[in-house]
Structure 1
Amino acid sequence: MPRLRLTIAYDGTRFAGWQLQAPGGGRSVQGCLEEALAKLCGGLVRVHGSGRTDAGVHALAQVAHLDVPEDRAGLPWQRALNAMLPPDVSIVDAALVAAGFHSRFSATGKAYRYTLWTERAYVLPWRRPYVWNVGRYAPLDVAAMDACAGLFAGFHDFAAFCNAGSDPASTSRLVRSVSRVASPSPQEMAWEFRAEGFLKQMVRNLMGALVEVGRGKVSPEDIRSVLTMGQRRLAPPTAPASGLCLVGVEYASDGRGHKRHLFHQPEAGQG
């Protein structure tokens, strides 16, 4: 059967996450996609995502794949799906790819962006679902946060920054970079996290640590010790889901023979 690759954007505010939920467990992005695809394909079609995003987490470029019936391969998939999906999910790109392409196992890296709202006096209502309001902590010590972010780069055991609820074969990950990036307004501060892969709620835990450093509650050296000791109970609290957005999934090939492709071109500070 032909294999279709989708690049998907969604507002995670009203979703229980990417993954299908048990009956009564709430809406899922995967469920919305499979419901629309069932109508287009004439039966159940399983969608495989590059990874799970939790309840409330957003995406600019989640990647998924599925196999479609031969006689439906030529459908204008992007237009057809967008006509059927709810307003908080959009197909950014749709393309037929090689049968060996796998949205999860072919991925070589991911990028997440976390956005903080730092204005003390107010939060713009339309930005509230996409930021963590840390204005009451302002001003943050950005130099200390930068120093702490540098500690996360490289290959480390991130057991202290992995929440319960998963059982990975290893808690070690290669983090390529954690850095501040351009924000759409002076009231916001955006951070980008790039790695070969992430543990459960790892980005939110790293962001929680950075904010505690910025507040002066802990020092970068304290966080270095937490990283070394590997005990989650010693680490700062998890940051809220609202500020987190999956902005890219990287592959050595785009599935059509083109080398090294990163599925995202986000505007600065989105999500």
Structure 2
Amino acid sequence: MPRLRLTLAYDGTAFAGWQLQAPGFGRTVQGCLEEALSRLCAGPVRVHGAGRTDSGVHALAQVAHADVPDSRCGFPWQKALNALLPKDMSVLDACEAAPDFHSRFDAVGKEYRYTLWTGAGYILPWRRPYVWDTGRFGPLDVPAMDACAALFAGSHDFAAFQNTGTVVHSTVRHVHGVARLPGACSHEMVWQFRAEGFLKQMVRNLMGALVAVGRGKVSPEDIRLVLTKGQRSLAPGTAPACGLCLHAVEYASDGRGHKRHLFHQPEAGQG
């Protein structure tokens, strides 16, 4: 059976996350995609995603794969799927992958971006589902946030920044970098998180720590100690899901067995 590789974008606001759930739990990205593929293939199709985004988290380039019948070779998957999928998700690309390609296990890195709304007094209504409104807290101490972000780079035990719910063999992760990028307007601040992989809600927990530092609730040194002690109870709270977006998934090959460059260099930022 040919293996199909899909690149997806979705607005996570009305989804109960990526992962398929029991009936009645809520609409999921995986569930909608499997339903559409099963209709096109006239039989059940299981989809595997590169990451299990939480309820309310968005994606600009989620990657997934599925095995489809031989009779569907050359089928216009992108057009057909987008005709069936709900309006809050789209297939950006669809192609045949190598038979052993795995969207999750072959990934060598991921990039998430988190957007803060820093303007005081108001928030643009159409941006509300995609930002964390920190403007109501007052001005953030950006240099202190930059200093805290630098602590997360490299290999660390991020047990203090993992929420419960997923069993893992190790809580050590290698973070390529946490950088501050310009936002879409002067009232937005974007934080880029790049790593080989992340723990459950790790990015939202790191963002929660950065904002706590920016508000003066804790210092970068406090966060360094939290990172060292590895206790989640000592860390600041989790940032809301709405500001988070899975921006890219990196692979060592293009999915057809051709090698490609690994994680791109950090984008130019202010931090």
TM > 0.5 fold call: yes
Pair 1:99-2:99 in alignment? yes
Q: Aligned residue for 1:163?
A: 163
**Partner letter of residue 171 of structure 1?**
T
Please report how far the alpha carbon of residue 108 of structure 1 lies from its aligned counterpart in structure 2 after TM superposition: 0.2
Counterparts of 2:250 and 2:40, CA distance in 1: 28
Whole-angstrom CA distance in 1 between matches of 2:232 and 2:223: 11
Distance 1:198 1:102, change over 3 A: same
- Identify the residue that residue 208 of structure 1 maps to in structure 2: 208
State the secondary structure of the residue aligned to 1:54: coil
Deviates more, 1:255-264 or 1:207-216: 255-264
Q: 2:93 & 2:137 partners in 1: Cα distance?
A: 39
The alpha-carbon distance between structure 1 residues 29 and 173, as it changes in their structure 2 partners (threshold 3 A), is: same
Unaligned runs of 5+ in 1: none
Q: What is residue 59 of structure 2 aligned with on the other side?
A: 59
Tell me which amino acid in the other structure corresponds to 2:248. Answer: G
Q: Which amino acid aligns with 2:161?
A: F
- Show CA shifts across 1:102-154 (max 9, x none): 00000000000000000111010100000000011221010000000000000
**Distance (Å, rounded) in 1 between the aligned partners of 2:118 and 2:104:** 35
Q: Say whether the 8 Å CA contact 2:182–2:188 is kept in structure 1.
A: no
Corresponding residue number in structure 1 for 2:77: 77
Segments ≥4 residues shifted beyond 4 Å: 261-264
- SS of residue matched to 1:248: strand
Secondary structure in structure 1 of the residue aligned to 2:5: strand
Superposition pairs of residues 139-158 of structure 1, within 5 angstroms? 139-158=139-158
Q: In the aligned structure 1, how far is the partner of 2:261 from the partner of 2:72?
A: 26
Q: Is the 8 A contact 1:108 1:252 kept in 2?
A: yes
- Unmatched 5+ stretches in structure 2: none
1:188-244 CA-partner distances (Å, limit 9, x unpaired): 000000000000000000000000000011000000000000000000000000000
Q: Structure 1 residue 262: deviation in Å? A: 7.4
- Deviations along 1:53-80, whole A, 9 cap, x unmatched? 0000000000000011001121111011
* Residue 193, structure 1, aligned to residue 177, structure 2: no
Paired letter, 2:122 = Y
The aligned counterpart of 1:244 is 244
Separation (CA, whole Å) in 2 of partners of 1:41 and 1:7: 19
Q: Which residue of 2 aligns with 1:38?
A: 38
Kindly indicate whether the alpha-carbon contact (under 8 Å) linking 1:248 and 1:263 is maintained by their aligned counterparts in 2.
no
AA in 2 matched with 1:31: G
Please report how far the alpha carbon of residue 263 of structure 1 lies from its aligned counterpart in structure 2 after TM superposition: 10
Q: Tell me how far apart the structure 2 counterparts of residues 262 and 75 of structure 1 sit (CA, whole Å).
A: 30
> For the aligned residues, what is the CA RMSD?
1.4
When structure 1 is superposed on structure 2, of 130-139 and 219-228 the one drifting more is 130-139
Q: CA deviation at 1:86?
A: 0.3
Q: Distance in 2 between matches of 1:159 and 1:46?
A: 31
1:170-185 map, 5 Å: 170-185=170-185
Give the direction of change, closer, same or farther, for the CA distance of 1:5–1:263 in structure 2 (3 Å limit): farther
8 Å contact kept, 2:41–2:68: yes
TM-score, normalising length from structure 2?
0.96
Contact persistence 1:248–1:262 (CA under 8 A): no
Number of the residue aligned with 2:120:
120
Question: Structure 1 length as normaliser, TM-score?
Answer: 0.96
